[in-house]
Amino acid sequence: MAWIFPINVLVELSTLFGNVTVERPKYKVARKLPGGRVEIRWYPPVVAATIQMPRNRFNREGEAFAKLARYIGVSGRPQNAKSREISMTAPVVTSSKSSEEISMTAPVTTQNNEMAFLLPAKYTIETAPQPTDPDVRIRELPGRYEAVLPFFGEPTEWYTEQQVDELKRKVVAAKRDGADIRIKGDWYLARFNPPITIPFLKTNEIHIPVDFTP
């Protein structure tokens, strides 16, 4: 007797092995840097639901993720003004933006950490449902060039920092070799898989905004 599994069960099983089954943002590859791992990509504007995380990137992420998940209605009634369920997309983005504050003695580095869910491409800043949780905000990410380094595995803090350093070295080397490219912003981590995915099969990317002339 043949076993017949519901399609949603098969989809869930495939995510265990690293298959990404949700919408991803579209982009165009403008250039591949020597070695082939790093791409310079052009991303069109996209709308995101964001939340600030005032501590280290790898602390309190569960709380931030839960608030964003409630906004799109992952479990229960969606916490947005239209009570509209919004499809999950990938990746989930976490970023850490550095700034300097002038104190009485010396500059003090502070961190402004953020997690974001990218909304499906059909949404604009005008049509995206407004959150009912005041911690969640909707904003539009403008079109931009980004240097991108994909990597696999569990994105621990140490492992992620290694990838960031490698990506920065690749961009600096490309500029030294004549490419019209310059880092213009802080890096962020893009994660494409749910927690149930086998760790070494997880897909991740480091992104750094750049000024780039093709």
Work out whether the CA dihedral 50, 55, 59, 63 comes out positive or negative: negative
Q: What is the pTM of this model?
A: 0.85
Nearest to 49 by CA among 20, 76, 84: 84
Confidence of residue 56 (pLDDT cuts 50, 70, 90): low
Q: What is the pLDDT of residues 112-124, one digit of tens each?
A: 688 999 999 999 9
- With pLDDT > 70 as the criterion, what percentage of the chain qualifies? 81
In order of 56, 123, 173, the CA distances from 65 in angstroms are 15, 20, 36
Over residues 162-171, the pLDDT tens digits come to 999 999 999 9
* Neighbouring residues of 70: CB distance < 8 A, sequence distance ≥ 6: 76, 78, 79, 133
Q: Which of 70, 18, 4, 24 is nearest to 197 (CA)?
A: 18
